[in-house]
Amino acid sequence: MPRHGVARALSKQGLGSRTQAAAWVREGRVSVNGRCVRDPEFPVRIGVDRIVVAGREAAKAPRLVLMLNKPRGLVTSASDEQGRDTVYRCFESAALPWIAPVGRLDKASEGLLLMSNDPQWAAGVTDPERGPDKTYHVQIDRLPDAALLTALIAGVDVDDEILSAKSVQLLRSGAKNAWLEIVLDEGRNRQIRRLLSAFDISVLRLIRVAIGPLALGELAKGQWRELSADEIAMLTFL
């Protein structure tokens, strides 16, 4: 049976982040098989060794997955060294267990962001090979032609990295700008913005509208809801 550092084991059970768990260990709040341990890397076997935190036996927390319609201007992080507001502001009035973002949306981006207390499940959703596609609606500062849409799918070398979209289609256009639907089958850092920038295109708005078959729907900006068991199953790849 594999062994994990006790801090990682607590995180895998959905009880907190590895950083939080490591702090509990160093503070002397964690015991393994009746012995207080202070090393976050102390090896344990999940389901075999008895781990107690602050006098209570650690048990795997029920999986919780939330869908948030992330507003523009919030940082996808538990805290920010620059003091900027984070997505956790949207959950301040709720009594929730520890949850963490499943993937990221940058500060200027909006839309569907998942939060969960299950790191293993989250890893499956964000896995670049097995995870679900992500769909975005993107407003750009020009009117695209068919050649541009084809080029975005073909890809371009950006800083020795090939960036491309799985699919691109024109949703609607105005006099000077247009909306595209862009589907990605991988999640690289600021991928859409960097891809479009390579063609001298600026992004005016970027909204994630779906992860796999899970659509943002009519959820209001800044609001959240818990996913049903069936919705979670649609995104489960582990």
The residues annotated with a catalytic role in the active site are: 106
- Kindly write down the DSSP assignment for every residue of the chain, as one continuous string: ---EEHHHHHHHTTSS-HHHHHHHHHTT-EEETTEE---TT-EE-TTTS-EEETTEE--PPPP-EEEEEEPTT-BSSS--TT---BGGGGGTTS-----EEES---TT-EEEEEEES-HHHHHHHH-TTTSPPEEEEEEESS---HHHHHHHHH-EESSS-EE--SEEEEEEE-SS-EEEEEEESS--TTHHHHHHHTTT--EEEEEEEEETTEE-TTPPTT-EEEPPHHHHHHT---
Give the CA distances from residue 48 to residues 1, 4, 159, 186, 237, in Å, rounded to whole numbers and listed in that order.
9, 12, 47, 36, 26
Enumerate residues 6+ apart whose C-beta is below 8 A from 230. Answer: none
**Phi (first) and psi of residue 139, to 5 degrees:** -95, 125
Residues 186, 132: contact at Cβ < 8 Å? Answer: no
